[in-house]
A = this chain, B = another copy of it.
Amino acid sequence: MARTVNPEIHARRRAAIIEAAAVEFARNGIDGTSTAAICKRAGIGSGTLFHYFPTKQEIALAVFADDIPRVEELCARALAESDPDRGLDMMIDHLLDELVDPLAPGLASAATIQANRDPDFAAVLQTIDGMVRRTLTTLLRRVNKRLGRSLPLPAASAARWIQGLVDAGHLGIVDGPRAQTVKDLRRIVAWLAGLPK
């Protein structure tokens, strides 16, 4: 009598591995993380790890690819708002939430390096980035057309810079008191969105 697969347990375990891997990757980079370290943190044996993922590369891919549905849903909700300023707020809020994650700087760095070498990985990053950028661009254009405000930069450029600013926050370069950082960022975004002082 063969043991039947329990998909729920499988998914949970897979998620636990991804979580453990994310912590290690953020701290030590992908090459700097041994599969043993992931196993230890996830509380599993190495055999189990390679039952869930064929290679370390695939784990790295999954860490980021798992975000795609979440981002998709966020973008869809922001675009569904009738007031583009509300949609922008929603996007910014979520981007800022990520920013609070202490793993963010390390993960962003690890990702940049990995994207140099793994085209599949690069594609995943591009998917996420592109989705966010297109959403922000659309929202900014709506601000422009529907609300009649004029933007200091073209919508597409402004969208890129908003992403850039958030990523700068990710890198931890802008590392003042968190509250001040968030306040500043909102002010800059407001300017980019053509809001009056």
Interface residues of A (CB under 8 A from B): 27-32, 105-106, 108-110, 112-113, 116-117, 129, 152-153, 156-157, 160-161, 163-165, 167-169, 171-176, 180, 184, 187-188, 191, 197
Task: Please state if A157 and B173 are interface contacts (CB–CB under 8 Å).
Answer: no
A190 → chain B closest CB, angstroms: 10
- Contact partner of A157 among B112, B156, B180, CB < 8 A? B180
Say yes or no: A173-B164 contact (C-beta < 8 A), given A113-B32, A187-B152: yes
Residue of B nearest to A192 (CB): B188
Task: Please state if A116 and B28 are interface contacts (CB–CB under 8 Å).
Answer: yes
Name 9 extra pairs, CB < 8 A, besides A29-B113, A105-B112, A160-B173. Answer: A28-B117, A109-B113, A153-B187, A156-B176, A157-B180, A161-B165, A161-B174, A161-B188, A163-B173
Residue of B nearest to A174 (CB): B164
> What residues of B have a CB within 8 angstroms of the CB of A191 in the complex?
152, 191
A6 → chain B closest CB, angstroms: 37
18 examples of A-B residue contacts, CB within 8 angstroms:
A27-B116, A29-B30, A30-B32, A31-B31, A32-B113, A106-B112, A108-B112, A108-B171, A110-B113, A152-B191, A153-B188, A157-B180, A160-B174, A161-B188, A163-B174, A164-B169, A164-B173, A171-B171
Distance, CA A165 to CA B184, complexed state (A) = 13
Residue of B nearest to A185 (CB): B161
- Contact partner of A172 among B30, B105, B106, B112, CB < 8 A? B112
A17 → chain B closest CB, angstroms: 21
> What residues of B have a CB within 8 angstroms of the CB of A108 in the complex?
109, 112, 171
Say yes or no: A153-B184 contact (C-beta < 8 A), given A129-B173, A176-B160: yes
